[in-house]
């Protein structure tokens, strides 16, 4: 509320002369609340009173403003937000606070198509909970034009076995489904091209979900990389009859292979060739590394090879043999290899044992220590025995561990005797 002093005209009387003042009280919206007329002799007293009233009113206004903003519904926290979007997401039980914190810009966009996206997902068979989860994780979906999402639905169902599986893919990879409409033609052309390579629909669906960038770019770029892979395979002595199977396996194991420029593959092959690897060994590495060799570079491989050779104290020939038996060694940086070497040495394992079974370096130090303790409980000492039992996946280790347990239960004098049952 604003207060203004406005002097009026002077008045005289027979007894005394005085100056009359009018005080104008204005409401915050600009309207006049009321006007107070007063005499000059009362001005000082009333002025003090008004200052106190004004200060009190200001404090009260600030308090009301603060409280109203504190208890205001979440959807109105920002005047820049699209209230229709916020309310629609609320209705779908979407975590608005999480969306506002991580991707608040989405709530400010207009137009949005929250209802249309939710209806499409519902038509595919998605439950309310799944729809809420998808839009919480990937709220950008509500910005996709309905015609665009419908086209995506038709495109994906052309390679996806059924709607239920498509819902599962959207739940895990929402960004792969809700893409720009400008990529639709590229997606369709890339699907047609990969089908010409005899990739089945399930494999193409997996590629679209995990590596959508490979489908959003022009098909000519993917053709160039595939041709480079095929040419390298043939140059290394690969059987042309098996090339399609090899390529399918490579793409399914590492769908991001297509995103690399062909020059990277050529440089890596030349580097390994200069290090003395034969064409047969290079073909084996290209296949065994699941395409990771394409994601490496000569500098990283040089550091890894030099460090491994110095640590193991082996010759170039021995190092190449170790790499062929453990191709993943090329992929690990020095700091990871140093940690794993030290962990094995602390466990009492010798460098000679590591050289004989280099695949043990694929395991983290925590996994190695855990397995060593389990083997020790069965009387198996890795310091004097083979490290083969340590290798492999968790399932492989459990099988090897089970074999050790069976051997301990069979009597030495009769190896074919039946096992003892648990008491």
DSSP string, 169-228: HHHH-HHHHS--GGGHHHHHHHHHHHHHTT--HHHHHHHHHH-THHHHS-HHHHHHHHHH
CA distance 230 to 163: 34
DSSP state of 106: G
pLDDT at 16 over 50: no
Residue 175's pLDDT band (boundaries 50, 70, 90)?
A: very high
pLDDT at 95 over 80: yes
Helices of type H across 71-161:
83-91, 96-103, 114-123, 128-137, 146-157
- Across the range 12-24, mean pLDDT stands at 43
pLDDT at 106 over 70: yes
pLDDT at 415 over 80: no
Q: What end-to-end distance do the CA atoms of the chain give, in Å?
A: 90
Enumerate the β-bridge partners of residue 36. 23
Tell me what the pLDDT averaged over the chain comes to: 82
CA distance 152 to 141: 12
Give the residue with greater pLDDT, 119 vs 250. Answer: 119
**Among 27-41, 68-82, 158-172, which range has the highest average pLDDT?**
158-172
């Amino acid at each position: 509320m604003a207060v203004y002093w406005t002097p009026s005209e002077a008045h005289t009387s027979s007894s005394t002369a005085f100056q009359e003042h009018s005080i104008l009280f204005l409401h915050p919206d600009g309207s006049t609340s009321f006007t107070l007329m007063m005499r000059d002799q009362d001005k000082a007293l009333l002025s003090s009173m008004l200052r106190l009233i004004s200060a009190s009113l200001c404090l009260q206004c600030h308090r009301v403003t603060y409280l109203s903003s504190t208890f205001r519904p979440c959807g109105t926290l920002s005047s820049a937000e699209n209230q229709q979007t916020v309310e629609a997401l609320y209705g779908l039980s979407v975590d608005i606070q999480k969306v506002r914190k991580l991707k608040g810009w989405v709530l400010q966009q207009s137009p949005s198509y929250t209802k249309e996206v939710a209806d499409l997902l519902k038509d595919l068979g998605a439950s309310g909970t799944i729809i809420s989860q998808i839009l919480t994780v990937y709220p950008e979906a509500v910005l996709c034009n309905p015609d665009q999402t419908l086209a995506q639905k038709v495109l994906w169902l052309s390679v996806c076995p059924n709607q239920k599986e498509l819902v599962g893919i959207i739940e895990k990879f929402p960004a792969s489904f809700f893409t720009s409409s400008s990529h639709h033609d590229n997606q369709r052309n890339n699907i047609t091209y990969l089908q010409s390579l005899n990739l089945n629909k399930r494999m193409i669906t997996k590629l679209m979900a995990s590596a959508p960038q490979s489908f959003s770019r022009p098909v000519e770029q993917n053709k160039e990389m595939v041709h480079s892979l095929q040419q390298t395979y043939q140059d290394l002595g690969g059987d042309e009859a098996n090339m399609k199977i090899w390529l399918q396996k490579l793409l399914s194991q590492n769908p991001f292979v297509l995103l690399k420029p062909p020059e990277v593959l050529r440089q890596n092959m030349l580097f390994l060739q200069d290090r003395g690897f034969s064409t047969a060994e290079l073909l084996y590495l290209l296949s065994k590394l699941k395409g990771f060799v394409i994601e490496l570079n000569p500098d990283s491989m040089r550091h890894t090879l030099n460090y491994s050779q110095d640590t193991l104290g082996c010759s170039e020939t021995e190092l190449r043999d170790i790499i062929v038996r453990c191709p993943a060694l090329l992929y690990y940086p020095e700091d990871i290899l140093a940690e794993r070497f030290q962990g094995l040495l602390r466990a009492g394992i010798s460098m000679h044992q590591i050289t004989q079974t280099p695949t043990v370096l694929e395991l983290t130090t925590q996994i190695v220590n855990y397995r060593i303790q389990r083997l020790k409980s069965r009387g198996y000492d890795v310091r004097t025995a083979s490290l083969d039992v340590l290798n492999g996946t968790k399932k492989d280790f459990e099988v090897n561990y089970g074999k050790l347990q069976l051997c301990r239960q069979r009597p030495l004098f009769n190896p074919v005797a039946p096992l003892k049952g648990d008491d």
